[in-house]
C-alpha cells in the first residue's frame, strides 16, 4: 500500500481539481481491473484464471506505491483510490472466487464464510488507513497476503482437477481463519526494514535464484507454501514477543525486590 499523505479540506480539493498523477493511479486501476476480471472469470468457471488474476492485481498493487514514492507523486486521492482497489482485488474477488469454486456447496454457511472474509478485509483496510502503524510490523494479516492464501489454494487444487465442493468444509474453515487473522492483533513483519538497495552476501543471490526457479517450476504449490508460512509467522512472532516481554517483566520484578 502507498504511504498516506496528509491532505485535507481546500488543499485536497484544489489538488484533485488540478488533476491526478497518471502512472501510480494507472497501476492502481490495473489492480482494480485484475480483481474485477477475477470475479468475471470465476462466474464463468475459469477458476485457475481467476486465481492468477488476483496475483496480477497483487503485483500491480505492489508497484503503484513504490512508483508513487520514487516519482514523488503521493497524494491523499491516490491513497483512497488504492484502498478502494484493494477492497475489490483482495476482498471481493477472493471471497467470490472461493464461493463460486467451493463454498456455494455449503449453502448459507458458504456465503456467510465468504461475507465474513469480505467484511474482515474492509475492517482491515479501514484500520490501516486510520491508525499510525509500526513500520516494522503490520497489525493483522495484510489483505494482499490473505488473498494470496486463498488464490494460491484455488489455483493449486484446480490444477489437480479436484472438485472444490469435495473440500468445501476445510475451505470454509480456512476462509474464516484468514479473516480472523486480518482483524486480529497478531503482528506480521512488513519487511520495510529490509534494505534492498544495500549489498548482500553472494549466497543470498543464489538462494533467490533457486526460489525463482521453484516458482517457475510449480507456481501454485510454491506460492501456497510461501503464503502459508507467512500466515503462520504472525502468531509465532507475536507469541515470541509476548514471551520476551514476560521475561523482561519478571526480571524487572526480581530487580525491584533485590533493591
- For the four alpha carbons of 247, 249, 255 and 257, in that order, the dihedral sign comes to negative
Residue whose cell numbers read 484464471: 49
CATH code for position 103: 1.20.120
Is position 123 within any domain? yes
111: Cβ contacts below 8 Å, ≥ 6 apart: 99, 103, 104
Residue 257 has pLDDT above 80, yes or no: no
With bands split at pLDDT 50, 70 and 90, how would you rate the model's confidence at 111? very high
Measured in degrees and rounded to the nearest 5, phi and psi for residue 138 equal -95, 145
Residue 31: domain span: 17-258
User: pLDDT per residue over 179-227, tens digit each?
Assistant: 999 999 999 988 876 666 677 787 778 888 988 888 888 999 999 999 9
Give dist(CA 141, CA 238) in Å, integer: 12
Selection from 146-150, 200-204, 233-237 with the highest mean pLDDT = 146-150
What was the pLDDT predicted at 155?
96
SS3 for 138? strand
Regarding predicted confidence, which is higher, 24 or 102? 102
Is position 79 within any domain? yes
What was the pLDDT predicted at 28?
95
Is position 38 within any domain? yes
What was the pLDDT predicted at 1?
44
Give dist(CA 38, CA 53) in Å, integer: 5
What was the pLDDT predicted at 6?
42
Give dist(CA 223, CA 114) in Å, integer: 22
What was the pLDDT predicted at 15?
52
Residue 233 has pLDDT above 70, yes or no: yes
Give dist(CA 183, CA 175) in Å, integer: 13
User: pLDDT per residue over 6-43, tens digit each?
Assistant: 444 544 544 554 667 888 899 999 999 999 999 999 99
Residue 134 has pLDDT above 80, yes or no: no
Measured between alpha carbons, how far apart are the two ends of the chain, in Å?
49
What was the pLDDT predicted at 3?
45
Give dist(CA 29, CA 37) in Å, integer: 12
What was the pLDDT predicted at 133?
64
With bands split at pLDDT 50, 70 and 90, how would you rate the model's confidence at 5? very low
User: pLDDT per residue over 40-90, tens digit each?
Assistant: 999 999 999 999 999 999 999 999 888 888 888 888 888 899 999 999 999
Number of domains in the chain: 1
What was the pLDDT predicted at 29?
96
What was the pLDDT predicted at 131?
79
Regarding predicted confidence, which is higher, 67 or 96? 96
Is position 8 within any domain? no
Please provide the average confidence, as pLDDT, over all residues in the chain: 88
Q: Residue 13: is it exposed, middle or buried by C-beta count within 10 angstroms (0-12/13-18/19+)?
A: exposed
Residue 154 has pLDDT above 90, yes or no: yes
Cell reading at 53: 488474476
Amino acid at each position: 500500500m502507498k504511504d498516506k499523505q496528509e491532505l485535507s479540506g481546500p488543499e485536497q480539493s484544489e489538488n484533485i481539481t488540478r488533476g491526478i498523477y497518471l502512472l501510480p493511479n494507472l497501476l492502481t486501476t490495473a489492480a482494480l481491473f485484475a480483481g474485477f476480471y477475477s470475479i468475471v472469470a470465476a462466474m464463468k468457471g475459469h477458476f485457475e484464471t481467476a486465481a492468477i488474476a488476483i496475483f496480477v492485481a497483487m503485483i500491480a498493487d505492489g508497484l503503484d506505491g513504490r512508483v508513487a514514492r520514487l516519482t514523488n507523486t503521493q497524494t491523499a486521492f491516490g491513497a483512497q483510490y488504492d484502498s478502494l482497489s484493494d477492497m475489490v482485488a483482495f476482498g471481493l474477488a477472493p471471497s467470490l472466487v472461493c464461493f463460486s469454486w467451493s463454498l456455494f456447496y455449503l449453502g448459507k454457511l458458504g456465503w456467510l464464510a465468504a461475507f465474513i472474509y469480505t467484511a474482515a478485509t474492509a475492517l482491515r483496510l479501514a484500520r490501516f488507513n486510520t491508525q499510525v502503524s509500526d513500520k516494522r510490523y503490520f497489525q493483522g494479516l495484510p489483505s494482499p497476503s490473505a488473498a494470496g492464501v486463498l488464490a494460491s489454494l484455488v489455483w493449486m487444487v484446480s490444477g489437480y482437477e479436484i472438485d472444490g465442493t469435495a473440500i468445501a468444509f476445510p475451505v470454509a474453515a480456512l476462509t474464516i481463519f484468514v479473516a480472523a487473522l486480518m482483524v486480529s492483533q497478531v503482528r506480521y513483519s512488513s519487511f520495510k526494514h529490509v534494505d534492498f538497495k544495500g549489498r548482500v552476501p553472494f549466497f543470498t543471490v543464489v538462494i533467490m535464484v533457486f526460489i525463482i526457479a521453484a516458482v517457475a517450476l510449480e507456481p501454485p504449490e510454491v506460492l501456497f507454501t510461501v503464503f502459508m508460512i507467512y500466515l503462520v509467522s504472525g502468531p509465532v512472532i507475536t507469541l515470541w514477543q509476548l514471551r520476551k516481554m514476560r521475561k523482561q517483566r519478571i526480571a524487572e520484578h526480581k530487580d525491584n525486590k533485590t533493591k
